[in-house]
Chains A and B, each alone.
Chain A
Amino acid sequence: MPTSDYDPACLPDLLPLYYRRLFPFSQYYRWLSYGGVSKNYFQNREFSFTLKDDIYVRYQSFTTQNELEKEMQKMVPYKIDIGAVYSHRPSQHNAVKSGTFQALEKELVFDIDMTDYDDVRRCCSAADICSKCWTLMTIAIRILDRALREDFGFHHLLWVYSGRRGVHCWVCDDAARKLSVAARSAVAEYLSLIKGGEETVRKVVLSDPIHPFINHSLSVVERYFCQYAIVEQDILGSKESVDKVLALLPEDILSFPVNANYSIKKGGQYFDKEIMLQYCYPRLDVNVSKGVNHLLKSPFSIHPKTGEKEYYQSNLLYTLLFKRLGAVGCLFFFFSSSRISVPIDLKELNTFDPFEVPTISLICEELERPRADEAEDDDVKDKENEQEAGERRRIRDYKRTSLAKYVKVFDRFLEAMARSRKGEMLQKSDLQKDF
């Protein structure tokens, strides 16, 4: 059977289906409205779309959930990015007096990309990932999640698998969305330990005293290090990689005292800890986190895998199948390995497998499988009005696919935020009543 080489050919067929019947619009809208506390929060949000043939459009904005749906179904974006909430509707930014159109708020975001670890992973490089190096993402999530919650006091974090080779974190607290550029950059720098590019060999330098944040991070790294670095990555397995490790140590290492805790320390330097951190500590791109107006890939967007071979292997076969079986029929014969960008459940982090994340063709295919209880649903359909019916159908639809469990994670996230908002409003009204 033909495989992923046919991606580009499939997306035009699969995406409309995805946006019509599977994309969780109501949850999405609920998220970005943030309880309607701020006026026009959703309306002033910028989205950007990457359309077919790599056409990129910015400053998209929508007034209602319905409009969002209609537009997405019409434009069929290959990729969706979310930007900032502006002072005016982004779609009308040209009509605004220059200088007054400004980005006001946005979630605090982090982007961890596996390519940034190429100098320390042996199993893969560039955009490839495998189960051996995925542990790096697990470590990154554990360290950053703890720090953002415990050190910075944030509560509402949405971790998302980017669809290919990394993870994103959306910090959605009120306080986070209001952070200035300087504050975002300060948070990102606080969380950064790996300094230096190609030219730098020793990228982590620790000195006494070690900050509690680093200690917390080290305890996470230490939990995974043996299994990850020694076993899976096998960093001591070849002369070349052993040399790389040795390059991080000073020449006279053999003469160092080893203290009771078996950490190698000389003059306040912690070489063993530094090595572990260099191999495992999260590498984040400060520039992604800094900008209030920075656009980041949206959850539930697909990751359009741009293949090198963009051709119909057999034009004739394709046309024939299409004519006979329709678009959906082709799905049985063509696969797209474009994965959906899905939320990650931190409770199940240790068992999260990026290769289990559904691809768009999988869920489209799952949609077409017949259902036992379809008959009774049809009765209900007749009674309600079309829009509601459409929505209920959609909810039933994704629930039939592998997308369901990820939408549930998203639902729980939204619930937590809603509860928290309610709590705050109660507090506020208490304060007022006291007077």
Chain B
Amino acid sequence: MQFPGRRKKLIGSSQNDLYDHCLQFYGQPPLENISLTEFETFAVERLKLLKTVENLGVSCVKNSEQYTKKLDAEISRISEYEKRRKDHISHFILRLAYCQTEDLRRWFIQQEMDLFRYRFNDLHSKHKTDFLHKNNLKYETVSAEEKKSLQDKLIASSYGLSGTKVEEHDVYKVPFQDALDLVRTRKVYLLAGNAYIPHHEIVTIVLNDFRTRLSKALAMTARSLPAVQSDERLQPLLSHLSHAYVGQDYSIQKNIGKISLEQIDALSGKSFPLCMRHLHKALRENHHLRHGGRMQYGLFLKGIGLSLEQALQFWRSEFVKGKVDADKFDKAYAYSVRHMFGKEGKRTDYTPYSCMKVILSNPPSQGDYHGCPFRHSDPELLKQKLQNYKVSPSGTNQILELVKGMHYQLACQKYFELTHNVEDAGFSLNHPNQYFTESQKLLSGGRDIKKEVDMSQRSQENPASVTRPSQANSKQIFLDEIQELSDPS
């Protein structure tokens, strides 16, 4: 008989005891004091790690050798204790930033689950069992005799199980309520209310547990958030974190003037992502776009290389065809175009929106054409649109499946692959301008465009950046790391 109540509590224990396992369920929040620098650095580093997890999950098959090797390379080499402490603290900081909306929570849970799965699979078998016991998971291992007597039944129920595997590896006895996915599909042996789960499948069960716990925790965190947000030191960082785009931001214009206005119509069909193609079409048809659309499209055009003069001409010529005469345009709209280029007001050089930003902020309403069509369009309309753009029915279905699974950027990537007739896009889509650049690269047949990112020109008022002006050194290191991340190898 087991008495789960009797556990020794470790109070004020030595360093080693607090982080005695490399993996944890994040049940208890950290209780120490840390500096603001550490707060920020830890958070950003974990965010980068999660973004890497996301990108790798998109470009490789999860848990394949390639995936594991790449993820291994990303985890830095510092002392085990430091690593674990950082892991612990950074996770909880990110909870604060990502608990606020359904979309953020979903993203965070997905990446944390993928990271956890990678790390769990990496554990030695003994450590896996240690982890289960330490976390009160009522998963007993089945005795050797019982395994032998049930051997045939186990092999007939579980995928990929052979006689030797049953003998050599552990089989876990789990209450069936904790293994619903396996029960539902009848991929497990059931006896007396217990599911008999072979070692290689226990991770699914553990992951479900992880997801449930994290989901509940995030809901609770959201409720306590107002108290945290009232701290002025933390509030700006947390709000930036959830929209942080850690990659090339296309703020520095390259190839200015290389695009002529006459090319835009053709380019919109060939090299624009669906959102921008949609916006361009709407602009041409209605001779007007609302603010959200003007921002999203206008900044994109800036990013592909339109100069201010070109942009003004472009917008004016289109608006004038509609209800706006030249005078009104100059009075009302020209200002905002110049504003986009940083020539008015705060003189902030706005950066073109990343996919994250387009998907997560400012959802379109009636009369709007901005946003991400994969996220914001009704699937039926999306299907029609894709068919109009001559996407094959099977391709359309693949895209719709991805949309159903909420993988909007992957759906756009698939759209890229289908419209450019390639098997593999060869990049992880994060930014509409990235789509454009990659498309142009593909169509012109090679790496013509050199990547020049002028570090010194990165504007300090850049709202997408999370650096602080006062920490020049760490900023430089940070920027270096960003550069590494955004360079597709």
Other than the given A215-B156, A431-B1, 7 more pairs (CB < 8 A) read: A150-B192, A153-B176, A183-B176, A187-B183, A189-B183, A211-B157, A212-B189
- Whether a CB of chain B sits under 8 angstroms from the CB of A190 is yes
B191 touches A150 (CB 8 A): yes
A189 touches B184 (CB 8 A): yes
How far is A154 from B189 in the complex, measured between Cα atoms in Å?
16
From residue A147, how far is it (CB to closest CB) to chain B in Å?
Answer: 8
B180 touches A182 (CB 8 A): yes
Q: Which residues of B contact A182 (CB under 8 A)?
A: 180
Provide a sorted-by-A list of 13 A–B residue pairs whose CB atoms are within 8 angstroms.
A152-B176, A153-B192, A153-B193, A154-B193, A175-B177, A179-B177, A180-B177, A183-B177, A186-B184, A211-B156, A212-B157, A212-B189, A431-B1
User: Interface code B272-308, partner A: CB below 8 Å = 1, 0 otherwise?
Assistant: 0000000000000000000000000000000000000
User: Interface code B173-207, partner A: CB below 8 Å = 1, 0 otherwise?
Assistant: 00011001101111001111110000000000000
A151 touches B191 (CB 8 A): yes
List the A residue with the shortest CB-CB distance to B179.
A186
- Whether a CB of chain A sits under 8 angstroms from the CB of B153 is yes
Residues 210-250 (chain A) with a chain B CB within 8 angstroms = 210-213, 215
Known A153-B194, A183-B180, A186-B183; judge A209-B155 contact (CB<8 A). Answer: yes
Q: Which residues of A contact B157 (CB under 8 A)?
A: 209, 211-212
A190 touches B184 (CB 8 A): yes
- Whether a CB of chain B sits under 8 angstroms from the CB of A269 is no
- How many B residues face the partner with a CB closer than 8 A? 19
B156 touches A209 (CB 8 A): yes
User: Interface code B136-156, partner A: CB below 8 Å = 1, 0 otherwise?
Assistant: 000000000000000001011
Known A179-B177, A211-B157; judge A190-B183 contact (CB<8 A). Answer: yes
- Number of A-B contacts defined by CB within 8 Å: 53
Q: Which residues of B contact A209 (CB under 8 A)?
A: 155-157
How far is A215 from B153 in the complex, measured between Cα atoms in Å?
10
Q: Which residues of B contact A185 (CB under 8 A)?
A: 184
Q: Which residues of A contact B153 (CB under 8 A)?
A: 212
How far is A269 from B191 in the complex, measured between Cα atoms in Å?
26
From residue A110, how far is it (CB to closest CB) to chain B in Å?
Answer: 16
How far is A306 from B290 in the complex, measured between Cα atoms in Å?
62
Q: Which of A152, A186, A212 contacts B193 (CB 8 A)?
A: A152
Q: Which residues of B contact A150 (CB under 8 A)?
A: 191-192
A213 touches B190 (CB 8 A): yes
From residue B54, how far is it (CB to closest CB) to chain A in Å?
Answer: 27
**Interchain residue pairs A-B with the least CB separation, the first 9:** A153-B193, A151-B190, A186-B184, A153-B192, A186-B180, A209-B156, A186-B183, A189-B184, A212-B153
B191 touches A211 (CB 8 A): no
How far is A104 from B76 in the complex, measured between Cα atoms in Å?
48
B191 touches A213 (CB 8 A): no
A190 touches B177 (CB 8 A): no
Q: Which residues of B contact A154 (CB under 8 A)?
A: 193
From residue A99, how far is it (CB to closest CB) to chain B in Å?
Answer: 15
B186 touches A211 (CB 8 A): yes
How far is A212 from B151 in the complex, measured between Cα atoms in Å?
12
How far is A152 from B186 in the complex, measured between Cα atoms in Å?
12
Q: Which residues of B contact A179 (CB under 8 A)?
A: 177
List the A residue with the shortest CB-CB distance to B150.
A212
From residue B101, how far is it (CB to closest CB) to chain A in Å?
Answer: 20
Residues 182-202 (chain A) with a chain B CB within 8 angstroms = 182-183, 185-187, 189-190
How far is A209 from B153 in the complex, measured between Cα atoms in Å?
10
How far is A214 from B67 in the complex, measured between Cα atoms in Å?
37
